[in-house]
A = this chain, B = another copy of it.
């Protein structure tokens, strides 16, 4: 019995939507990931890899590892070149707790891969209100604020009540007890009293960045 053919990047989707297909590594075997990376290299294509945890990364062959620009905190890898980032500074990525930084960085890396710069603000959770009001004026200048928050996930609501920008929330799975897995953070965001907050799946920094790129395509066009 023959195995099915490998994953091949789908150029048609990229052309239609302006978004490259990322390789979600979590459910793939080492050999699959290696072949995808080597294929990209052989075709001189760029390739974004997400959910590539340190253990899997270190299991890749030396040959493969050395062509991957890997960032441990965000579990992302980038193969090949990508456009230099614009300098427009219209996007902010904001994270509530120090444990949310990995997801925030997944968004930052996805933006960079698509040629979008952003400003980053960390450790500004609502349990210390002064940390948010300190950056309020900076955030108000942004077209888009990506807000990454787990646990009580109150930050997107507070930010959205202060400024008119697009607010894309990302709930995170950080937590224990009822917070475990991130469902309560997701539901807090969906229940936000501030109108116009949108969300993506739990821990989906990649998706939030893609949504930001869709918006920026319209803003800049």
The smallest beta-carbon distance between A79 and chain B, in angstroms, is: 16
> Are A210 and B196 in contact, with the CB atoms below 8 A?
yes
The smallest beta-carbon distance between A142 and chain B, in angstroms, is: 9
Q: Can you tell how many copies of this chain the complex includes?
A: 8
Query: How many residues of A are in contact with the other chain, CB < 8 A?
Result: 109
The smallest beta-carbon distance between A138 and chain B, in angstroms, is: 15
The smallest beta-carbon distance between A211 and chain B, in angstroms, is: 4
Which residues A192-221 have CB closer than 8 A to chain B? 192-204, 206-208, 210-211, 213-215, 217-219
Q: Given A152-B154, A193-B152, are A173 and B177 neighbors across the interface (CB < 8 Å)?
A: yes
Alpha-carbon distance between A204 and B178 when the two chains are bound, in angstroms: 11
> Are B185 and A191 in contact, with the CB atoms below 8 A?
yes
A contacts with B: majority SS: mixed
Which residues A1-57 have CB closer than 8 A to chain B? 1, 3-8, 10, 12-13, 16-19, 21-22, 24, 26-28, 32, 51
> Are A192 and B152 in contact, with the CB atoms below 8 A?
yes
The smallest beta-carbon distance between A148 and chain B, in angstroms, is: 11
Find A160's partner among B127, B151, B162, B184 (CB 8 Å cutoff). Answer: B127
> Are B123 and A217 in contact, with the CB atoms below 8 A?
no
Which residues A174-194 have CB closer than 8 A to chain B? 174-194
Residue in B closest to A196 when the chains form the complex, CB atoms:
B210
Residues of B within 8 A of A28 (CB): 98-99
Does residue A68 face the partner (Cβ distance < 8 Å to B)? no
